[in-house]
Amino acid sequence: MVFRTLLRLTGSREHVDDLAQDVFLRLYRALPSFRGEALVTTYLYRIAVNVAQDEWKRRRRDAQSLVSISDETSGWEERLPHPGRNAQEQMEEREFQQVVEEQMQRLSQVERAVLVLYHQEERTYEQIALALGLPIGTVRTHLHRGRRKLRDGIAARRIEGERTPVKEAPCASNG
């Protein structure tokens, strides 16, 4: 369970043994303070997620190259990259959000409600079923169908966008 979870969270087998050892060491150290309000497996999953997050931070830190400000061979852009997204990335993100919103509006009300409650409000199947007055199986069906319609609609819009030639603004001449 721990190895599989770490492998899925980190996406690499490279350090899974060391990470699993860290999980069990943290569990051993934390057992005296374990209150028993949750299952030990739930506690173990939480520790595994924390260890995976630490690994992500370590990887990110290792991936950042250290460059001296006085290094004459590299430009300022390499030394001090802008922490935010560039204009094109921001525009693409806004366009994608707009496409998602458009496709969400094309779903039935119940599919849209189930998707929002599950993915944005992080409600369980049981909570959604109670809120909407539906059987759990029906909630799962609407969730599956809504996801599929949303995915297919977004894919169709992307294909449609690739086929549509981009109109360039006419160049102003000084002439």
Q: In this structure, which topology does domain 2-63 adopt according to CATH?
A: Rna Polymerase Sigma Factor; Chain: A (1.10.1740)
Is the pTM value of this prediction over 0.95? no
Let me know: does 111 contact 142? Beta carbons within 8 Å. yes
Q: What are phi and psi of 22, to 5 degrees?
A: -65, -40
Residue 72 or residue 141, greater confidence: 141
> Which tens digits make up the pLDDT trace of 114-127?
888 898 777 899 98
Rounded distance between C-alpha atoms, residue 96 and residue 157, angstroms: 10
* 60-114 pLDDT per residue, tens: 777 665 555 565 655 555 555 556 667 888 888 888 888 888 898 898 888 988 8
Contacts of 19 (CB under 8 A, 6+ apart): 6, 10, 51, 52, 55
The domain spans of the chain are 2-63, 88-162
Classified by CATH at the fold level, domain 88-162 comes out as Arc Repressor Mutant, subunit A (1.10.10)
At CA 29, angle to CA 23 and CA 34, rounded to 5?
95
